[in-house]
Amino acid sequence: MDEVIGLFPTPFLRAQATVPRPLVQRLIESFTALAVESNNASAHLSHTQTLRPQDDPLLIEACDLIGPKLIDFGKLLFGERLDWSIKELWVNVLDHGGRQAMHNHANSFVSGVIYLTPTHESSCTVFMKSPGGTDFIFKNDHAGVTGGEFNSDRWISPQPQPGDLVLFPSYLMHAVPPNAGVRRVTLSFNAIPARLESWGYTIKLDA
């Protein structure tokens, strides 16, 4: 019997309707107007300043809903149910025509997004293999190729609804293509575990 085994897969958690609609609406009303920081990738993309959960009761409420998901996801990454802290959050406002360049997140282990408004199919978050990886030098890339998890360079996440949450390892490269729809608002964040331990050597992290 032949068997194909996916070695060392990258986890990606999608949790639909994690944040209830009333809280989603209050987050939009409270933070969209604060997204005045410009983005170098696009004139139609802006952000709030970096926020901490304790900056606003609405953020604390959102983080309380994210927390159990972080613990479950962290077990996939580190094999143990650790305590996690969300170290920073920010709201992104992507207007029509705006885009986000390919990037990843430093100084964290898990990153996530809460989608606050409907997302046009053109601007679903795209995840990509890291450039300069361990791929073959030659590629088989033409119209007749069937893409899959072992030969694709990118993966387009499912079209989200307001209140949906995604979690992914912070090193994972991602981007948002040009938005062909109306304003798209998201709440992004980075998280770290309380500690990591390796054979008696323990690192304690503090958000």
CATH number (domain holding residue 185): 2.60.120.620
Asked if residue 1 belongs to a domain, the reply is no
Q: State how many domains the chain has.
A: 1
Task: State the pLDDT at residue 159.
Answer: 97
Asked if residue 67 belongs to a domain, the reply is yes
pTM for the model stands at 0.94
- Which parts of the chain sit beneath pLDDT 50? none
Asked if residue 162 belongs to a domain, the reply is yes
Asked if residue 119 belongs to a domain, the reply is yes
Q: What burial letters (b/e) apply to 100-135, b meaning 16+ CB within 10 Å? A: beeeebeebbbbbbbbbbebbeebbbbbeeeeeeee
Asked if residue 182 belongs to a domain, the reply is yes
Bridge partner list, 189: 89, 112
CA pair distance 182, 204, nearest whole angstrom: 43
Candidates 58, 57, 82, 54; CA nearest to 70 is 82
Task: State the pLDDT at residue 139.
Answer: 81
CA 79 to chain centre: 21
End-to-end alpha-carbon separation of the chain, Å? 49
Task: State the pLDDT at residue 164.
Answer: 98
Asked if residue 136 belongs to a domain, the reply is no
Task: State the pLDDT at residue 138.
Answer: 79
CA pair distance 107, 71, nearest whole angstrom: 18
Q: Which domain holds residue 24?
A: 13-129+150-204
Task: State the pLDDT at residue 133.
Answer: 62
Task: State the pLDDT at residue 37.
Answer: 96
Asked if residue 7 belongs to a domain, the reply is no
Asked if residue 6 belongs to a domain, the reply is no
Task: State the pLDDT at residue 105.
Answer: 96
Task: State the pLDDT at residue 117.
Answer: 98
